[in-house]
Amino acid sequence: MYDIIVIGGGPAALSAIQYAHGKQLKAVMLCETLGGKVDWIQRQAGDEQQLPFPGVDMVRPLINWMSQHTDYVMRDRVRSVAEGLNGFEVTTDRMGYCLL
């Protein structure tokens, strides 16, 4: 059982798991890769003149933090999330399911 299960490995997920760690919650992040789509060139819609935002530079400190806290990460693909009698069940490819 976990207090928090974070699904995904992008910037928001990395921030959420770091916050949960700081609050001493039992948490886990389920993702296939860390960083999400930050290596894609990011531009605001309709503003072709804007320079690309270097997202990978912003996320690198969070990824470095995660490399020191590997017990918070499970490399797996989430297949479903369902509400059960005692909380939520998250089904994954490798692990089966875990409870929240």
Question: Could you report the per-residue pLDDT of 41-95, keeping only the tens digit for each?
Answer: 555 566 666 666 666 677 777 777 777 877 878 888 999 999 888 888 888 888 7
Q: Does domain 1-40+53-79 have CATH number 3.50.50.60?
A: yes
**pLDDT score at 97:** 58
Shortest CA distance to 72 belongs to which of 34, 40, 44, 43? 34
To the question of pTM greater than 0.85 for the whole model, the response is: no
Question: The tokens of 58 are what?
Answer: 């912003």
